[in-house]
């Protein structure tokens, strides 16, 4: 077995921190800049629909509708319906044909997009700021008056089945993460895939989609979000005008998230015709609003992300990346911290040669145990800087800001200000990281998903027994 991780601290110089004077000056300027960022305004209308916006000095704006509707709100018989509607949404409405809708959007130079996840569905439009009122009207028409005729359903069914085949054949990362959710949250709605099983797709009819939309697309479950040269008061008037008739009451019981249960388990799909092994290992994380979420994100940043095409190699800051580059343990890896409202998955995904599974996993788990016991202040400072950079880079431009607003307001009811997020992140210490790692990682049963030539991957009990160190 490779043991480079045990030697790497002797091979590398200690992490050096910048001078305290320069660091404090930069930190103060950084906080001042963040505190001057425009605030996100959130208003709840009488119907329960939430309106949120952030004014950004830009000629381009993004506006979107975000709905509490996704695979988690489906049962085994309806799984795939939310994604099915996404494929039908732009096929026309009772007021506009598909051709008229496309011509109207193109004449404005706008772009429509739709996305379905496990816990939310979104419909967004990127346009000139002056065209926001028109795009709000178009989005409202799409979600309130979908056409949903049998011919469109038949064509969408063929498209979705083709996409499922394509994903299964070429996007093994997505396949592995679907398997990971399926085994980690088995028996709960969070195990549902976004696509749904092929048998469901073949049986879904227009009335099924219509019933799903009517029961889930209610005002209290929707957020209208916008970012760009927009004003909150104007956006509220647009919401009242075009979304004021969205029902706020439910026929029967309102859709609710079912309780989740994490199960330490594994799912392996051995296929020796695939050149690389694709493996994900994770423990149960925390919900998005949990106080441990930031510390777990810092722990994930400490493990890092690496690809053999990256520069740096053995000079990388991540010790796992050093080991991977030096011993050719894998082709790439990425540490992740997926958060949902009430739970999460914290772990790693990697792709490696068939005979490298055991060595790669040994190094991964060795590094996880080091997180629990020996992570240093210097490493945590470096990880916090990288996390700040990544978070801010993801919020460049109105589109990413609008999507962040919609997601946070839908999940938490508010959007955390950047300066507050930075302050909380700055308060994370090495001791905090070790504490949360001990609670969430040390001696916990992991979930494992693997696809490809995975014969060399250790059996589950071997993996479980490496989730702790015996300390004397």
* Residues annotated as part of the active site: 86
d(CA 375, CA 318): 12
Instruction: Report H helices in 47-191.
Output: 81-88, 98-107, 132-144, 150-170, 172-184
Collect contacts of 92-99 with beta carbons under 8 A, ≥24 apart.
92/147, 92/152, 93/141, 93/142, 93/145, 93/146, 93/147, 94/145, 94/146, 94/147, 95/141, 95/145, 96/141
- DSSP 8-state secondary structure symbol assigned to residue 246: S
The string of DSSP letters for 204-244 reads --HHHHHHHHHHH--GGGEEEEEEES--HHHHHHHHHHHHT
3-state percent breakdown (helix, strand, coil) of the chain, nearest 5:
50, 20, 35
Q: What is the spatial order of strands in the sheet that 60-67 belongs to?
A: 41-44, 50-55, 222-228, 60-67, 121-128, 111-116
Farthest CA pair distance, the chain: 73
Are 383 and 301 in contact by the 8 Å Cβ rule? The answer is yes
d(CA 401, CA 225): 9
List the Cα angle 34/36/42 in 5-degree steps: 90
d(CA 219, CA 223): 8
d(CA 221, CA 230): 23
């Amino acid at each position: 077995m490779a043991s480079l991780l045990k030697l790497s601290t002797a091979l590398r110089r200690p992490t050096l921190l910048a001078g305290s004077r320069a660091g404090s000056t930069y930190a103060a300027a950084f906080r001042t800049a963040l505190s001057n960022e425009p605030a996100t305004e959130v208003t709840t209308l009488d119907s329960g629909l939430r309106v949120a916006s952030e004014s950004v000095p830009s000629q381009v704006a993004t506006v979107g509708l975000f709905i509490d509707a996704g695979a988690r709100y489906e049962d085994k018989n309806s799984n795939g319906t939310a994604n099915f509607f996404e494929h039908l949404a732009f096929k026309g409405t009772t007021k506009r044909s598909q051709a008229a809708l496309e011509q109207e959007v193109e004449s404005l130079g706008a772009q429509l997009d739709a996305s379905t996840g496990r816990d939310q569905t979104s419909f967004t439009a990127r346009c000139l700021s002056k065209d926001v009122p028109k795009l709000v009207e178009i989005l409202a028409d799409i979600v309130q008056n979908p056409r949903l005729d049998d011919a469109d359903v038949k064509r969408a069914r063929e498209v979705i089945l083709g996409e499922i085949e394509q994903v299964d054949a070429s996007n093994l990362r997505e396949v592995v993460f679907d398997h990971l959710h399926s085994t980690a949250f088995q028996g709960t709605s969070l195990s549902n895939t976004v696509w749904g099983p092929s048998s469901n797709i073949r049986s879904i009819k227009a009335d099924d989609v219509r019933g799903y939309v009517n029961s889930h697309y209610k005002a209290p479950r929707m957020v209208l979000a916008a970012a760009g040269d927009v004003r909150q008061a104007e956006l509220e008037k647009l919401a009242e005008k075009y979304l004021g008739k969205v029902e706020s009451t439910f026929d029967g019981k309102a859709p609710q998230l079912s309780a989740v249960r994490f199960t330490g388990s594994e799912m392996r799909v051995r296929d020796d015709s695939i050149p690389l092994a694709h493996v994900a290992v994770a423990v149960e994380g925390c919900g998005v609003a949990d106080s441990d979420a930031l510390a777990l994100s810092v722990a994930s940043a400490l493990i890092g992300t690496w690809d053999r095409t990256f520069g740096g190699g053995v000079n990388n800051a991540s010790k796992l990346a050093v080991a991977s580059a030096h011993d050719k343990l894998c082709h790439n890896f990425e540490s992740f911290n997926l958060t949902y409202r009430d739970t999460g998955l914290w772990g790693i995904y990697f792709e490696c040669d068939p005979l490298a599974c055991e060595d790669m996993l040994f190094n991964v788990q060795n590094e996880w145990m080091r997180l629990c016991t020996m992570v240093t202040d210097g490493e945590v400072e470096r990880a916090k800087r990288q996390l700040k950079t990544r978070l801010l880079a993801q919020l460049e431009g109105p589109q990413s800001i609008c999507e962040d607003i919609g997601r946070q307001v839908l999940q938490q009811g508010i959007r955390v200000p950047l300066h507050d997020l930075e302050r909380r992140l700055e308060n994370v210490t090495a001791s905090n990281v070790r504490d949360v790692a001990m609670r969430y990682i040390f001696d916990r049963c992991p979930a494992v998903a693997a696809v490809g030539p995975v014969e060399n991957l250790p059996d589950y009990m071997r993996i479980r027994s490496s989730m702790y160190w015996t300390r004397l």
